[in-house]
Amino acid sequence: MQKAILVALSVALLYALQKYLEFRRAVASIRDHPGFRSVFTMANPLLKWRIPGITPGNFSAWMYKHQDFVDAGWDVVSVVHSWPKTTVTYMLADAGAIRDIANARARFPKPLEQYKILSFYGSNIVITEGDEWKRQRKISAPAFSERNNKLVWDETINVMSDLFNNVWGEKEQIEVDHIVDLTVPIALYIIGIAGFGRRMSWSDEEGPAPGHKLTFKDALHTVSTDLFLKVVCPGWLLKLGPTERIRHFHTAYDELERYMHGMVRARKQSEKKEERYDLFSSLLDANEDESDGKTKLSDEELVGNIFIFLIAGHETTAHTLAYTFIMLALYPDVQEKLYEHIKGVIGDGRLPSYEDMNSLTYSMAVFNETLRMFPPVNGIPKRSAEDTTIVASNGAGEKCTIVVPQGTNFMIHTPGLHYNPRYWEDPYAFKPERFLGDWPRDAFCPFSAGPRACLGRRFSETEGVAILSLLVLRYRIEVREEPHLEKESFDERKARLLNSSQSITLHPVKAPLVFKRR
């Protein structure tokens, strides 16, 4: 028995020594550039909080924003961890370095294994690289057209008008327990019609389609709300369904897949092609127009792409608007300025049209400032395909050349960039005006950067500006007063409402607001 224990200890010590030597070689390979040295990676979702020497923390990008770069003295910070595999990662808050890396796709490709979890219903533009990405982008990009943007605007107006007229009605005051409970269904109904060509209303009471257990609306809502279950739960656990929530999600996930494949079949079998500009129809039309059979997307790729557009367009916009309404409630002077601006553009009592969007500059500025302060995705990964170097800077204007061995990971640290005082004066302040004049576009990447930037950016901006403008024009947004919090200071209230968590994207945990008719 003692011999077995001795052998086990010897093996363990040899393994520990091997890992230590690998770790030291990795640190030496980057010339010990300042940063974190830890056992576990910051990408481990089970290690959310920072434990010095153990993990930088999965949520640390949002929690510390630009502070880690201040502490390191450079806007590029290294992270070297030893288990399960010794790896070097550079976190980037330097706009010049980010621009160079984002634009050099061949030298700094996506680490595709980190994106496989986003395959969901099939291969898509997000999880591919090289020629495969080019093939999918060639067919996907035309779907995001001006005609689709106009459809987004018009349908947003329809959804908001339905909310005002048929749900809120004549009420002078509407209380919302959590602002996400309002913004998520708004975004869902808009993506339903502008993404899938399926109109849904607030009072939709139709039953499931023949052969289905859930309505399209219910399946879409459940999947979009609980998609994180697909990320964190293995397939066998989803099928087992140990809780009612997991069982319902598993059913909804299967139902939505059947609905989408049914839509593809119906469109292909239709003798008369309607002229429609929703993303699904545009994607199918572009695919059918491809004369080269090798370029065409399979049914699984069509469904995979439209679903990834759903997630990108629905959840990010819904959560960004939630933060926007919270900030306007906290800063009534900014809200009043926004109201006067909107009223100046749409001053005759009419509904705003898509042609008004370019004039609603302050609405766009408020939306952008929210995206700057609350970027939906806190880390965008890249990887070096070769031995190379990058140049880093700091607040003192100094520059240094950083060694990058082949296989080194990068993380575009969105909060670190967006809160970097080199680019954003007083970065922790809510100042939409900073987006009205010249502003540092290379230091703003809520939609990623370079050729791989989000195709749906204009879709999201159009939806966001339309919702924001129409709602602020009709209602004043305030924080709901809580009797047990009457002695709460402004800073305490702000911290409570902006307390955030991360699932697929960043979102507020609980923010009760009140909408009062103007």
Per residue in 421-464, pLDDT (tens digit) is 999 999 999 999 999 999 999 999 999 999 888 888 999 999 99
Is the residue at 512 inside a domain?
yes
How do beta strands 35-40 and 76-83 pair?
parallel
* pLDDT score recorded for residue 275: 66
- Among left, alpha and beta (phi > 0; psi -120 to 50; other), residue 44 is beta
Give the rounded distance of the alpha carbon of 423 from its chain centre. 22
List b or e across 438-473, with b for residues whose CB sees 16 or more CB atoms inside 10 angstroms. eeeeebbbbbbbbebebbbebbbbbbbbbbbbbbbb
Is the residue at 233 inside a domain?
no
Q: What is the pTM (predicted TM-score) of this model?
A: 0.94
Is the residue at 401 inside a domain?
yes
CATH number at residue 415: 1.10.630.10
d(CA 409, CA 79): 9
For 397, the token pair is 């204007």
* pLDDT score recorded for residue 180: 95
Number of domains in the chain: 1
Is the residue at 322 inside a domain?
yes
d(CA 502, CA 210): 37
Is the residue at 359 inside a domain?
yes
Is the residue at 348 inside a domain?
yes
Per residue in 53-87, pLDDT (tens digit) is 999 998 999 999 999 999 999 999 999 999 989 99
Contacts with 167 (C-beta within 8 Å, 6 or more apart), sequence order:
202, 203
Contacts with 374 (C-beta within 8 Å, 6 or more apart), sequence order:
319, 320, 323, 500, 506
DSSP-derived 3-state class of residue 215: coil
Handedness of CA 349, 355, 359, 362 (dihedral sign): positive
User: Annotated binding residue at 454?
Assistant: yes
* pLDDT score recorded for residue 292: 64
* pLDDT score recorded for residue 315: 83
Contact by Cβ (8 Å): 249, 238: yes
Which amino acid is located at 110 in the chain?
Answer: K
Is the residue at 176 inside a domain?
yes
Dihedrals φ, ψ of 452, to 5°? -90, 10
Half-sphere exposure (Cβ direction) of 306: Cα atoms closer than 13 Å = 30
List b or e across 164-186, with b for residues whose CB sees 16 or more CB atoms inside 10 angstroms. beeebeeeeebebeebbebbbbb
d(CA 184, CA 188): 6
DSSP-derived 3-state class of residue 307: helix
Distances (CA, A) of 428 to 60, 166, 369, 370, 415: 17, 39, 11, 11, 11
Contacts with 141 (C-beta within 8 Å, 6 or more apart), sequence order:
455
Q: What angle do CA 477, 482, 485 make, to 5 degrees?
A: 120
Is the residue at 286 inside a domain?
no
Beta strands in 12-169 (DSSP E): 35-40, 76-83, 87-92
For 338, the domain range is 31-105+125-197+313-518
Give the rounded distance of the alpha carbon of 148 from its chain centre. 21
Spell out, as residue ranges, where the chain has pLDDT lower than 50.
Answer: none
